[in-house]
Amino acid sequence: MAAPHAMRGYRNGFGDRVLFVAVLLLAAIWIAPIVWVVGLSFKPNDVLMRSTGGIVFPPFTLKNYADILAASSVFHWMLNSAIVAIGQTILTLLIASLAGYGFARTNFPGKRMLFVLVLAALAVPEQAIIVPLHTMFAVVDLHNTYAALIAPRLAFPFGVLLMTQYFRAISPEIEEAALLDSASRFKVFWRIVLPLSIPAQATLGIYTFLHGWNDYFWPLVSATKPEMYTLTVGLAAMQTNFAQTEGIGFLMAQAVFAGLPVMILYLFFQRYIVSAVAGAPAK
Amino acid sequence: MSGLSLKNVSKHFGMLEVIHDLSLDIADGEFAVFLGPSGCGKSTLLRMVAGLEPLSGGEIHIGGKRIDALAPGDRGVAMVFQHYALYPHMTVRQNVAFGLRNIGTKSDEIARKIAAAAGTLEIAHLLDRKPAQLSGGQRQRVAIARAIVKQPDIFLFDEPLSNLDAALRSRTRIELARLHHRLRATMVFVTHDQVEAMTMATRIVVMNQGRIEQVGAPMEIYLQPATRFVASFIGSPAMNFLAATPTGDANGRIMVRLADGTTVATAIPAAALPASGPFTLGVRAEHVLPGAGSPARVDVVERLGERTLVHALANDGSTIVYDEPGDVAPAIGDHIQLTIDPAHVHLFDAAGRAYHADRIA
């Protein structure tokens, strides 16, 4: 009887080791470009003009970062990005949660058709609607405003789908118990359903924030005045101006600078992301 | 007074009618059990009382006051759900307090009520835990505590024992019966488990396909089932059913002949029986006796400890189950003879309506 157990244990141990090596390999492949970008950002541009290979050897410099900070508009663009990304996140969470709860828990005529329409929006490419969007915002004279940068991204079918599915997975009995506990429908949503959906809210919030922070296409179209540039558009504009003269180290520093808030955000909310992916909603 | 009264209540989902014009009165302090198979409408009926399903027709009154138009929280009912339905993100204390806070109960009063309920249900040491940290039995107690603190007019239980293991289910049954005795509250309990119904109910409401088949005390339903459905649903093992043909009467009592040719002189008044139609004779296992009578062959033997169930095949191929005390039983394949106690025979007509002896004890 001992042999099969020993064999199974050996197999598990060997399998784990193979899996571990595979994961390490994938992680290395994944992280290599990031390490390279960070390494290049600390290298003098004149060195990089000759070779971009030796990132671990001196000389190193902080000049590329100092140059970014010296550009007075960078912090303003960062603020713009923050306003747009946070605004999109808050409003998307609110809209997707309410819509998701509506689809998950209420019955109304045309619900199924409306949900299909929401899902169908997933298949519409951004490029297909960019011209109509531009025209619409031009007609109401909203280009170069925060409203124009935020509003189009609030129609986020994936968010509605995610929240609908999550709310559906929460046991209706819990909400019924709250109704019997004299809670109003809004209180049930606010005190019971929303707290239970925190993992999904965190996932959607982070996803929306990242999307808003990294968004380039629509801000490029809508924000034509430099004071309304988001970080991505602003940095791209700087690259256009300086790429050939200032060098690759400066470009890499910009990339690191733009990605830093996102990285910090991920580290801060990592627990929620992992639990949202690994965990199931409360029954 | 907090009795429950259902008047011509009906419910349909689209074209599908699940509760048919149902009327029922449950007295103050009763422990009524809605019993029936899955899909018979018992949980739907309970949810209609709770306000979780709107009525398609009829009225519901609690303590003489019509409540079917009120919100669930305003009906004076508390419900214990099948899956407990505790709020996972709240501690036990917060779970129990939630309903009280919603109706504006003062904090010191909430604390007093929680302490009292926790003492009654022995959950005082669990108050600061979250539901995920509790066992199934503990969650059940918390769900009951949440109902108790509200001091409702009526407690509603929707198959609350179905997720517990056999031992805990048995213990919780006893505790619920004790709780009912102590609170003297009106309780309505839904189950498909006849043992739960028989052991806890002061009155059983047997339901089938959205209709009430019979309402009565547990032993009344066991001894005098109103229909063949009730007779088959109540009792374990199920009642034996044998095709029977009336052959006349003796001293005003009907006589029937079974398919194997045996004649049984029942204690059922001949005048009660319709003139014609196919009949079925019903007799419980404990009223089938081994001894001189119809020949049969032992097919299966089920040993339950205190008694043994013997499944025997009659000459006409029908199966008859009878029980023997203890482990005394024939072996499979043995040829035996069985007699039926005529005092405890029931007859059922083609529509399933039952006919009994005048008085069965």
Where do the structural domains in chain A lie, given as residue ranges? 2-41, 64-278
B66 and B166 belong to one structural domain: yes
Question: What does the pLDDT look like over A177-211, one tens digit per residue?
Answer: 999 999 998 899 999 999 999 888 988 888 898 88
Q: For B146, which residue in chain A has the nearest alpha carbon?
A: A181
Q: Are B298 and B274 in contact (CB under 8 A)?
A: no
Distances from the Cα of A6 to the Cα of A1, A19, A39, A169, B311, angstroms: 9, 20, 47, 40, 48
Residues in chain A with CB shorter than 8 Å from the CB of B87 are 174, 177-178, 192
B141 and B15 belong to one structural domain: yes
CA A265 – CA A23 distance, rounded (Å):
24
* A243 pLDDT more than 90: no
Residues in chain A with CB shorter than 8 Å from the CB of B150 are 181
Split at pLDDT 50, 70, 90, the class of B327 is confident
Split at pLDDT 50, 70, 90, the class of A275 is low
Q: Are A161 and A122 in contact (CB under 8 A)?
A: yes
Q: Is B146 on the interface with A (CB under 8 A)?
A: yes
Sign for the CA dihedral angle at B26, B32, B36, B39 comes to positive
pLDDT: which is higher, A234 or B48: B48
Split at pLDDT 50, 70, 90, the class of B265 is confident
Q: C-alpha B191: how far from its chain's center?
A: 6
Span B186-207, average pLDDT: 95
B254 and B186 belong to one structural domain: no
Longest dimension (CA), chain A: 80
- Determine if the peptide bond prior to A59 is cis (ω within 30°): yes
Say what the pLDDT of residue A96 is: 95
B129 and B276 belong to one structural domain: no
Across the interface, whether the CB atoms of A180 and B103 are under 8 A apart is answered no
Label residue B296 exposed, middle or buried (CB < 10 Å: 0-12, 13-18, 19+). Answer: buried
Of B169, B191, B225, at which residue does a domain stop? B225
pLDDT: which is higher, B274 or A101: A101
B232: distance to nearest CA of chain A, Å? 32
Span A65-72, average pLDDT: 80
B253 and B148 belong to one structural domain: no
Phi, psi of B352, deg, nearest 5: 90, 0
Across the interface, whether the CB atoms of A182 and B87 are under 8 A apart is answered no
pLDDT: which is higher, B294 or B129: B129
Q: Are B223 and B283 in contact (CB under 8 A)?
A: no
Q: What whole-number percentage of chain B has pLDDT above 70?
A: 99
Q: For B77, which residue in chain A has the nearest alpha carbon?
A: A180
B126: distance to nearest CA of chain A, Å? 20
B255 and B310 belong to one structural domain: yes
* A245 pLDDT more than 90: no
Say what the pLDDT of residue A242 is: 54
CA B343 – CA A106 distance, rounded (Å):
57
Q: For A192, which residue in chain B has the nearest alpha carbon?
A: B87
* A11 pLDDT more than 60: no
Say what the pLDDT of residue B261 is: 84
pLDDT: which is higher, B273 or A76: A76
B269 and B208 belong to one structural domain: no
Q: Is A196 on the interface with B (CB under 8 A)?
A: yes
CA B201 – CA B31 distance, rounded (Å):
5
| The B335-340 sheet, strands edge to edge | B319-325, B307-314, B288-303, B335-340
Q: Return mean pLDDT, chain A.
A: 85
Q: Is B54 on the interface with A (CB under 8 A)?
A: no
B220 and B290 belong to one structural domain: no
Residues in chain A with CB shorter than 8 Å from the CB of B146 are 177, 181
Does this complex have an ipTM over 0.90? no
Distances from the Cα of B179 to the Cα of A174, A181, A253, B115, B183, angstroms: 24, 21, 71, 16, 6
Q: For chain B, report the end-to-end CA distance as a whole number of angstroms.
A: 33
Whether residue B231 lies inside any domain: the answer is no
CA A207 – CA A114 distance, rounded (Å):
24
Split at pLDDT 50, 70, 90, the class of B361 is very low
Q: Checking DSSP bridges between strand B154-158 and strand B186-191, what pairing results, if any? A: parallel
Residues in chain B with CB shorter than 8 Å from the CB of A275 are none
B197 and B254 belong to one structural domain: no
Alpha helices in B70-161 (DSSP H): 92-102, 107-121, 136-148
* B292 pLDDT more than 90: no
B77 and B190 belong to one structural domain: yes
Say what the pLDDT of residue A196 is: 93
* A172 pLDDT more than 50: yes
Distances from the Cα of A168 to the Cα of A175, A185, B83, B244, angstroms: 12, 16, 16, 53
CA A244 – CA A104 distance, rounded (Å):
54
Q: What is the pTM of this model?
A: 0.80
CATH of the domain at B347: 2.40.50.140
Residues in chain A with CB shorter than 8 Å from the CB of B98 are 178, 181, 183, 191
**Which candidate, B160, B224, B225, places its Cα nearest to that of B196?**
B160
B211 and B248 belong to one structural domain: no
A-B CB pairs within 8 A amount to 63
Phi, psi of B149, deg, nearest 5: -60, -25
Say what the pLDDT of residue A280 is: 44
Say what the pLDDT of residue A31 is: 92
Amino acid at B184: R
Q: Checking DSSP bridges between strand B203-208 and strand B31-35, what pairing results, if any? A: parallel
Residue B7 CA neighbour count, 13 Å, CB half: 11
Mutate to test the interface with A, among B43, B49, B52, B134 (most CBs of A within 10 A): B52
Say what the pLDDT of residue B283 is: 95
Span A32-55, average pLDDT: 84
Residues in chain A with CB shorter than 8 Å from the CB of B110 are none
What is the domain range of residue B93?
4-225
* A75 pLDDT more than 90: no
Split at pLDDT 50, 70, 90, the class of A273 is low
* A12 pLDDT more than 70: no
Say what the pLDDT of residue A270 is: 77
Token look-up 């619409």 returns A136
Whether residue B67 lies inside any domain: the answer is yes
What is the fold, at CATH topology level, of the domain defined by A64-278? MetI-like fold (1.10.3720)
Whether residue B82 lies inside any domain: the answer is yes
**Which candidate, B165, B182, B95, B106, places its Cα nearest to that of B133?**
B95
Split at pLDDT 50, 70, 90, the class of B126 is very high
Q: Please name the member of A174, A176, A182 whose beta carbon is closest to the beta carbon of B99.
A: A182
Across the interface, whether the CB atoms of A183 and B74 are under 8 A apart is answered no
Split at pLDDT 50, 70, 90, the class of B1 is low
pLDDT: which is higher, A265 or A154: A154
Question: What does the pLDDT look like over B79-125, one tens digit per residue?
Answer: 999 999 999 999 999 999 999 999 999 999 999 999 999 998 889 99
Question: What does the pLDDT look like over B218-235, one tens digit per residue?
Answer: 999 999 999 999 999 999
Q: For chain A, report the end-to-end CA distance as a whole number of angstroms.
A: 40
Return the exposure string of B56-80: e unless at least 16 CB atoms fall within 10 Å of the residue's CB, then b: eebebebeeeebbeeebbebbbbbb
Domain total in chain B: 2
Count of beta carbons in the 10 Å neighbourhood of residue B257: 16
Q: Which structure tokens are listed for B155?
A: 């407690």
Of B176, B196, B225, at which residue does a domain stop? B225
Question: What does the pLDDT look like over B136-165, one tens digit per residue?
Answer: 989 999 999 999 999 999 999 999 998 888
B49 and B120 belong to one structural domain: yes
Q: Is B102 on the interface with A (CB under 8 A)?
A: yes
Say what the pLDDT of residue B330 is: 85
* B132 pLDDT more than 90: yes
Say what the pLDDT of residue A2 is: 43
CA A249 – CA A45 distance, rounded (Å):
5
Q: What SS3 class is residue A120?
A: helix
Span B166-195, average pLDDT: 91
* A8 pLDDT more than 80: no
Q: Which stretches does DSSP call E strand in B142-262?
A: 154-158, 186-191, 203-208, 211-216, 240-250, 253-258
Span B190-204, average pLDDT: 94
